[in-house]
Structure 1
């Protein structure tokens, strides 16, 4: 167990970290013992049989071949999520060549060890392919494991940006926690059509007041070039969170692709990973991702109003390092971490505006000075998070880091702790007779945070859209969309609901969404209790709600309940069961049926690899009995 340093730490930060460490003692100790044993063996390729080793360098030539014949020079794995389909990942196609040259100059040999899948939720939104999205995180983790399993490597460079990709790469690499690893980002695209204007066109289209040509013009003006989408969804939350966990080079997150500085940072990652593989600077990934780093990641998420997907991803990443993080930890930290950033959908600025205001370095300094981050952590830049309050710059051709202004350059985007946008982190946990859920309130006006209204129940997005277009929802309503959880259909994101719900809210109605599905960074002005667990597919009480039942969502009091007599609710049968495996087919879904049967609940990270709860049964005999934790996929 890592003892948190308590001097100058906020007492709640210290207390949460201490209890995370305490509850994780047994699992974390076993993990670190396994990592230490793997590290003690030295470079595995030194012990490979000659035939095995020959296969490992057969494609190399010249000095690289000679270097890999022995064990003196480190071998570096490059694992990349490059593809041409995702704008955020398209810039990665140049990175392996840069990294190989940089590693070679540093006395190492870097090899492209494996590619991992990378799907775009923006493309699959509202389509059957979205039902594979969350599962793709664990497929990426497994693919990363396959790439590193050749035991030819002393370190790893992990290239990825978007939603499930970064968590998947990190979860996979943590199975090889004795290896140093650096995450290498690509940077955001230039700012396009302002997000507020795009949202207005989407709402007009939902009402039938804009045609497809107008909508497509707005969307293509927003998503218009290589680079990460500029709104603050899961992709950009990934970058900020892992940087403040010490897994990026300082200031690397939001440098645009196609610039000299981006290339210099990429090449520096190739040099730096070599330094981390040996001697006094040896920094295994397992020692970077400890209890303090995990808590720092949660703080970074809360302080910026980041994606709710990370209430699952951070739990799953922590679990891969055998650290037990819970939703209660998020909730308690959220009470003391102020909201310091306004980035769309929590404001009108995009991620480029945030970076121009001071970005991650200014945010890091602000939080460190307030005692809201653990400073005494190991990072890929060296010991101490203080290195992350500096920004990268080019001095001629030389990469260096410089101090940033102590306060934001634009306090409409990024603020100090003494003048926050809100006193808390904007992420709440709600619970009651419908189970537990997450609600992101950083973009929800205070007067909209309590909703009590009759329910309208749906089991698919198409049903909701049809009812909206028919005028059936033009009233105070709590939209209940169930059987959208991981066991039901892979837990797709439900961005498509946002414009119509926004229209209802703008018409003056009291509106809320309650779902066991996801909303991600698209959670906006409409209060949405999401990721409800237990989900309907495993017998959760959401499966018993009927049209007309009054549902109360109170974000302030942390309550989510249906106002039905307890005896009546208990006597109601479960309805609207999830599709069976024969119905869950098409667009590759049948290939993922085995994952759907074993996936854990949202509050345990919704994972299928590593430590996950035993699956509850699907079908009419489901109950709400607690599940027993088991190890899967080891």
Structure 2
């Protein structure tokens, strides 16, 4: 199948736009690769002695001879995150597998990992987005010792995988394989979970009943099973060629999960400069891989957070993408999955129906993925249409299913749930925003109603509890951008707004903040940029202004007389309480230096050879 002409055109545009910055990046990679052989031979004897001091004599000998690769393990393990708790035992598996492959593995460093599910609606959520850049810097610290020949990255959740990948790309000369932990087994249905949340928001369920429901949903080790940012991360790592084929959605504790972890270490040893193939991460992540990531996101109805994260990831590789690229591809990429919140199924159902192997095969067959990319397997993306299985003690791969085993969850490209990817760019006198419409019913995709302006999500919730929102309205929640308060997710608002929509009111959300990666059925224009604190037009809106959110036409407008709109001054907000508590004091510089949402909300400024450097 020939490449879809829109995908070809968008990729060519990205390549042309990024030519100068990509060249700078690749020059840096080549310089970092340096001389032939392993990096550790080029550091001093005292430095090497420090690096090997705690190792067993045999491994010290291997490291000293420098004929075999030394693999770094960078892990986001902690046992508060259910998704990351399984990483506790993986370093031992990796070290054992590395020895069997004639290599050595060292735990190079840990990176922080916060759970958005724990901080949702709390002050700690204002650190969440910036934790991505902290993770990237922590990854760099772990690898800065310059004694490694490749790295395995252990991470799953929202900001962790993007942060690990941004950090890994600064060591573009090193091969890299990402190692997931897998989703927890299915608990209560997502529909039942959402129902109890809405009952609680209305005062019809007790806190004890809500807690019982939530604990039945989030009940064991592994990733939350809805299709939010964490599981979108795993899809991306696979479709961008950084996972072993089929690694994304195998449950923790399964023999196949352990087999894939061991195989990742063995494969990494093979693709270092001391192995039989050399595949640095800079060769895997290029303009085609980034375009494939956007397509995968659209085809699965993935997390809106990646309209920010993918921009920052691309920038770390010297590649410049923007929301126009997402929007243009969305028009031709069909929606092939129905996973909560875009349906009732969870990622375990998706995996059982055919999962990533079937999805990639369908997109390749429709000409909607670049098949000629380099992956960690050293082959084109077609290798990722295979699925892993355990043949006794041996891990093997076989072709994935030829037909979906559940067309209510996963469909072929010829029979999609929707002809487009369900992600739209909105433009108008309120700025630029994105909206996820894959879970929004057609009758709710256009809302025209008076604005109610809030500067804090708690103010909106208080108005809801007082019964003041039983009417048509557009909630404008502003001063929620990166520079204002770190751009928190506003998922706390979802149950209340859903209740009002279900009662027949025309409601929508417009904000310069984020929604959860599991954005739901209420229309939400999010990531509005420029943000309010930077003088964006959202700061001009007043209570009663009629707002029109039109996800069909792609417009976001305040229907105010143009002369009056031009003359209006922007509002200000008291953000003092967002500057301190739970460590927010330490993130002052991050807020002050953050770029806009469409530039990746990055705190690194022009230090990366991406959007800021070429704007």
The alignment partner of 1:520 has SS state of coil
The alignment partner of 2:517 has SS state of helix
The answer to whether residue 71 in structure 2 is matched with residue 88 in structure 1 is no
Instruction: Measure the CA separation in 2 of the matches of 1:147 and 1:578.
Output: 39
The answer to whether residue 144 in structure 2 is matched with residue 149 in structure 1 is yes
The answer to whether residue 94 in structure 2 is matched with residue 99 in structure 1 is yes
The one-character-per-residue Cα deviations of 1:481-504 (angstroms, maximum 9, x if unpaired) are 001111100011111000000001
Name which of 206, 223, 242 aligns with 2:201. Answer: 206
Name which of 517, 522, 527 aligns with 2:518. Answer: 522
The one-character-per-residue Cα deviations of 1:284-341 (angstroms, maximum 9, x if unpaired) are 0000000000011110000000000000111100000000011100000000000000
Name which of 281, 284, 287 aligns with 2:280. Answer: 284
Number of the residue aligned with 2:16: 22
CA contact (8 A) 2:513 2:526 kept: yes
Instruction: Measure the CA separation in 1 of the matches of 2:235 and 2:516.
Output: 15
Instruction: Measure the CA separation in 2 of the matches of 1:328 and 1:571.
Output: 29
Instruction: Measure the CA separation in 2 of the matches of 1:285 and 1:342.
Output: 32
CA contact (8 A) 1:601 1:613 kept: no
Structure 1 segment 2-81 matched on structure 2, within 5 A? 8-42=2-36, 43-81=38-76
CA contact (8 A) 2:386 2:398 kept: yes
Q: Which moved more, 1:271-280 or 1:550-559?
A: 271-280
Instruction: Measure the CA separation in 2 of the matches of 1:522 and 1:465.
Output: 19
CA contact (8 A) 2:599 2:612 kept: no
Cα 1:552/1:612, change in 2 over 3 Å: farther
Structure 1 segment 304-343 matched on structure 2, within 5 A? 304-343=300-339
Name which of 361, 366, 370 aligns with 1:370. Answer: 366
RMSD: 1.5
Cα 1:631/1:172, change in 2 over 3 Å: farther
The one-character-per-residue Cα deviations of 1:508-559 (angstroms, maximum 9, x if unpaired) are 1111100001013221110000000000011001111000000000001000
Offset at residue 612 of structure 1 (A): 7.3
The one-character-per-residue Cα deviations of 1:404-459 (angstroms, maximum 9, x if unpaired) are 22121100000011110000000000010000000000000111100000000001
CA contact (8 A) 2:427 2:433 kept: yes
The answer to whether residue 127 in structure 2 is matched with residue 132 in structure 1 is yes
Alignment: residue pair count: 612
Provide structure 1 residue ranges, at least 5 long, that are not aligned to the other structure. Answer: 1-6, 615-627
CA contact (8 A) 1:345 1:521 kept: no
CA contact (8 A) 2:21 2:614 kept: no
Offset at residue 583 of structure 1 (A): 5.5
The answer to whether residue 564 in structure 2 is matched with residue 568 in structure 1 is yes
The one-character-per-residue Cα deviations of 1:369-410 (angstroms, maximum 9, x if unpaired) are 111110001111122001100100011111000112212110
Q: Which moved more, 1:54-63 or 1:497-506?
A: 54-63
Offset at residue 608 of structure 1 (A): 1.1
The answer to whether residue 493 in structure 2 is matched with residue 510 in structure 1 is no
Name which of 161, 170, 178 aligns with 1:166. Answer: 161
Offset at residue 34 of structure 1 (A): 1.4
The alignment partner of 1:530 has SS state of strand
**Structure 1 outlier segments of 4+, above 4 Å:** none
Instruction: Measure the CA separation in 2 of the matches of 1:80 and 1:532.
Output: 33
Number of the residue aligned with 2:474: 478
Cα 1:57/1:631, change in 2 over 3 Å: farther
Instruction: Measure the CA separation in 1 of the matches of 2:516 and 2:462.
Output: 23
Name which of 472, 485, 489 aligns with 1:489. Answer: 485
Provide structure 2 residue ranges, at least 5 long, that are not aligned to the other structure. Answer: none
The alignment partner of 1:379 has SS state of coil
Number of the residue aligned with 2:417: 421
Structure 1 segment 585-624 matched on structure 2, within 5 A? 585-609=580-604, 611=606
- Give the TM-score normalised by structure 2: 0.98
Offset at residue 609 of structure 1 (A): 2.3
CA contact (8 A) 2:316 2:608 kept: no
Offset at residue 37 of structure 1 (A): 2.0
Instruction: Measure the CA separation in 2 of the matches of 1:409 and 1:153.
Output: 43
Number of the residue aligned with 1:402: 398
The one-character-per-residue Cα deviations of 1:53-110 (angstroms, maximum 9, x if unpaired) are 1111111122111111132111111000000100000000000000011111111111
Number of the residue aligned with 1:629: 612
Offset at residue 603 of structure 1 (A): 0.3
CA contact (8 A) 1:543 1:576 kept: yes
Cα 1:201/1:10, change in 2 over 3 Å: same
The one-character-per-residue Cα deviations of 1:6-44 (angstroms, maximum 9, x if unpaired) are x71000011111110111111101111111122232422
Instruction: Measure the CA separation in 2 of the matches of 1:208 and 1:271.
Output: 54
The alignment partner of 1:402 has SS state of strand
Instruction: Measure the CA separation in 2 of the matches of 1:338 and 1:532.
Output: 25
Cα 1:237/1:558, change in 2 over 3 Å: same
CA contact (8 A) 1:604 1:612 kept: no
The answer to whether residue 575 in structure 2 is matched with residue 553 in structure 1 is no
